[in-house]
């Protein structure tokens, strides 16, 4: 999981607003077991597969295809999605490997490509750092990509072929914890702010 400044601002405000709540933050790109790991609330990305959990959608996340200027200078910028076959993808490993299927709008139809590259990781920050270092191309969450693009660390690629792939970001928790005031208050607070920008 890759967290940026808005998350830390949100967390510090939440802690200030709820001084009697003790927070334990565990970061992982793996899917945690809420019971075994004694987790009150987890933030999950994508399709929720465990129907025994209560979920609240917080926002949608959009991804952009990006590469570092140094990568584009060395390898060129793909002009069409088909050109990506000649490029090195930075790929997800583990439960997020569905993110290795990239969809594009080509001549009015959706075309999906499977990523192929020489590096996989289950850690988003690692992929982001390798991308900014010029190792390959990746699909990066918009809230991380846009600041890096503004700072000149990354370049957007294939914008004319972009498909809105709104991925849900949800807070999930066990049904028996839904009525606990601390859980209800925290989840309501998360739902009241724009968490994906």
Burial of 63 (0-12, 13-18, 19+ CB in 10 A): buried
> Are residues 152 and 67 in contact, defined by beta-carbon separation less than 8 angstroms?
no
Structure confidence by residue, pLDDT tens digits, 103-157? 999 999 999 999 889 999 988 889 999 999 999 999 998 888 999 999 999 999 9
Which token pair is 104?
């594009």
What's phi and psi for 145, nearest 5 deg?
A: -70, -45
Name the pTM for this structure: 0.73
**Options 3.30.450.20, 3.40.190.290, 2.102.10.10, 3.90.1330.10; which CATH number does 63-161 get?**
3.40.190.290
The alpha carbon of residue 178 and the mean position of all alpha carbons in its chain are separated, in whole angstroms, by 25
Domain covering 5-61+167-192, topology: D-Maltodextrin-Binding Protein; domain 2 (3.40.190)
DSSP classification of residue 137: B
């Amino acid at each position: 999981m890759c967290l940026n400044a808005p998350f830390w601002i949100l967390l510090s405000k939440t802690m200030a607003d709820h001084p009697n709540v003790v927070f334990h933050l565990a970061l992982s790109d793996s899917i945690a077991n809420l019971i075994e790991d004694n987790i009150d609330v987890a933030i999950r990305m994508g399709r929720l597969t465990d129907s025994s959990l209560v979920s609240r959608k917080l926002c949608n996340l959009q991804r952009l295809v990006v590469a570092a200027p140094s990568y584009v200078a060395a390898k060129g910028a793909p002009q069409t999605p088909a050109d990506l076959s000649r490029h090195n993808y930075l790929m997800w490993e583990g439960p997020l490997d569905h993110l290795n299927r990239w969809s594009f709008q080509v001549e009015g139809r959706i075309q999906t490509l499977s990523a192929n590259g020489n590096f996989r990781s289950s850690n988003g920050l690692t992929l982001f750092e390798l991308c900014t270092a010029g190792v390959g191309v990746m699909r990066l969450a918009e809230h991380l990509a846009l600041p890096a693009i503004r700072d000149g660390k990354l370049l957007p690629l294939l914008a004319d072929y972009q498909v809105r792939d709104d991925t849900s970001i949800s807070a999930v928790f066990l049904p028996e914890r839904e009525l606990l005031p601390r859980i209800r208050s925290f989840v309501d607070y998360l739902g009241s702010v724009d968490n994906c920008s």
